[in-house]
A and B are shown apart, each in its own frame.
Chain A
Amino acid sequence: MAERRIIQATGMRPLVRPGRVTLGATILALLAFAAVFAPLLAPHNPIDQDLMVSFLPPFWSDGADPAYPLGTDSLGRDVLSRLLYGARIALTVAVIAAFLAGLLGTVLGLLAGYFGGWVDALISRIVDIWLSFPPVLLSIVLVAVIGSGLHSVIIAIVVIDWTRFCRVVRAEVMVQRNQDYVAAAVTIGLGRWRTIVSEILPNVAPLLIVLFSLEMGIAIIVEAILSFVGLSVPSDFPTWGGLIQEGRLYVNQSPWLMVFPMVCIILSVLGLNALGDGLRHRLDPVMRR
């Protein structure tokens, strides 16, 4: 049962009609391709400066240099190469942060949902407290406190976004707990932990894949926000948010500097949202019409 759902979720079964899942998976694949092969795809070193060629326009404009397809920034660095390396950072943060947030949230959600009682009361109260903070402000303060850098960004996302997983998993486990298969597992003498890990968890897994996909999109946005505020990674590192922030300074001379990284973020998030939504529709029999 669970296996079949996962096969559907990962899109390994022939698709009935190309839709959001295909669109999302394609964009995600492109993003992964750009991130993995950035050193091969990038025409230049992303931090090499050449003041002789600063503010070159993209290839379709007059005065463009074919060696710099998407133009150059204020220091003559190649925009295309910076975007490709930016995809690396975005994807790294997205995968690691979404995975860790998912892990923490799922464990707490399973505990709260399965045991109920004071365990649930305690975890739910913590979630309530967490939801009392504006997430953007909390992440900015958190990174300011623990110091900037990629690992801080990941920690901030995990610390703030585990509640998304926790709430959904808790609610789902509460439904699953009353199913016959759980009673059967208890009857044949499975312990509590065995029941949670090998019986309930697989039935929650499809939901987790959906949440993971959506969380990756959120992580990309948060990373961009922190870079934008100047708290992510040192400015030598080309992050999409950092590129937007730099581009903003020269928006009158060369608006493209800001447009390209924005397009990258929007396309990535659009793709991940489409994937998550598409999977949700496909996995939920009620929504699958």
Chain B
Amino acid sequence: MIGRQVALRLLLAFPTLFGVALIVFILLRVVPGDPIAMMAGVTATPEEIERLRGLYGLDRPLLEQFWAYLGQLVQGDFGVSITRRLPVTELIFERLPATIELSLFAMALAVGLGIALAVAATYWRGRAAERMTDGFSAFGLAVPDFLWGLIFILILGVLIPVLPISGRVDPSLSFSSATGLYLIESFFRGQFDVFVSTLSRIVLPALSLALPLAAIIARVLKSSLAEVMQQDYILLARVKGFGRFRIVMRDALRNALVPTVALTAVQFTFLVGGTVLVERIFSFPGLGNMAIEAVVNRDLPLIQGVVITFALIFIALNMLIDLTYGLLNPRLRHG
């Protein structure tokens, strides 16, 4: 049953993948009048441009180019980066773990913070604490992740410099990672100096990404908690004499969580998208930072590779979300 659903989802992903490939092709090879001139720069001679054109197959008809390009993509071959002179795939795999680690850490922060805020608002309902969490939610939503990043740099990096604001690990520490997931790996290998250094550098970018999501989680969870608190079984629990904290934490929270879980999953893709700029601001060596570098340098193969990698991540996440919905909601299972 579930196997069939997964197969169906995979099948449905194909037209989307094809569409993504088509858009990237149009965006990077058809729209800019001459991508080669863009890559070669103003100093290139006409002969050089002609040579590059032949090298990238841009002198052939568009349809033929598209076909060749699709063939390369299917093989996972994004070509060679112009500025780094290394295979794009290699560069992407080198950077990907950093972005994954940052996204997951940010997500954990957002969930923890969001739940704490919603519970606090419900527990102290009608008091100043509730208004404070509401205010925080509104503020958290109005300030986009990259501005949070700048605010943190300003306050904790410049005015009260307590945390490092760039990089991933102290450059003086030597750490050769097998997985690229520094935080987890250094912890389990017992290199706590590396762990602390990594942690101190991931906190601010992760918090920047987490705050807007935490605000959304707090808002939605608070309203489902308010609904659940009206239910009869909560009244029953009260009549039984359970404490208010226990009721909110154990009886209400468990039943209010489902809509929040669904929403959090959807919002996670936005958080991953936000890493692009936040990584740039904190000079965090992830995929997003490399993407902006590639755009600034007009490194066409690298731009293409990074955009398609992000699209693959998004499609995979959306597929996972759909499948989870199907599992959580029995009514959709037979749809």
- A2 at the binding interface (Cβ < 8 Å): no
- Residues 203-237 of A, flagged 1 when their CB comes within 8 A of B and 0 if not, give 00000000000000100010001001110000000
> What is the bound-complex CA distance between A32 and B260, given in angstroms?
37
In the complex, are the beta carbons of A141 and B318 less than 8 A apart? no
> What is the bound-complex CA distance between A273 and B310, given in angstroms?
28
Q: Which of B16, B153, B277 contacts A125 (CB 8 A)?
A: B16
Q: Which of B197-256 contact A (CB under 8 A)?
A: none
Stretch at the interface among B61-69, B114-122, B134-142: B134-142
- Number of A interface residues at 8 Å Cβ cutoff, please give it: 38
**Chain B residues in 8 Å Cβ range of A136:** 273-274, 276-277
- Residues 97-138 of A, flagged 1 when their CB comes within 8 A of B and 0 if not, give 000000000000000000000000000011011011111111
Q: Main secondary structure on chain B at its contact with chain A?
A: helix
Stretch at the interface among B23-31, B41-49, B71-79, B89-97: B23-31
In the complex, are the beta carbons of B138 and A274 less than 8 A apart? yes
- A255 at the binding interface (Cβ < 8 Å): yes
Q: Which of A142-186 contact B (CB under 8 A)?
A: 142, 144-146
- A270 at the binding interface (Cβ < 8 Å): yes
- A266 at the binding interface (Cβ < 8 Å): yes
In the complex, are the beta carbons of B31 and A229 less than 8 A apart? no
**Chain A residues in 8 Å Cβ range of B156:** none
Which of A128, A129, A142, A225 has the most chain B CB within a 10 Å cutoff? Answer: A129
**Chain B residues in 8 Å Cβ range of A221:** 144
- A34 at the binding interface (Cβ < 8 Å): no
In the complex, are the beta carbons of B147 and A251 less than 8 A apart? no
In the complex, are the beta carbons of B314 and A258 less than 8 A apart? no
In the complex, are the beta carbons of B16 and A129 less than 8 A apart? yes
> 28 A-B contacts, Cβ less than 8 Å apart?
A125-B15, A125-B16, A125-B19, A129-B16, A131-B314, A133-B307, A134-B310, A134-B314, A136-B274, A137-B288, A138-B307, A140-B295, A145-B28, A221-B144, A225-B144, A229-B292, A230-B296, A251-B154, A251-B158, A255-B159, A258-B150, A259-B154, A262-B150, A269-B142, A269-B143, A270-B142, A273-B138, A273-B141
Residues of B within 8 A of A (CB): 15-16, 19-20, 23, 27-28, 31-32, 138-139, 141-144, 146-147, 150-151, 153-154, 158-159, 269, 272-274, 276-277, 280, 288, 291-292, 295-296, 298, 303, 306-307, 310-311, 314-315, 318
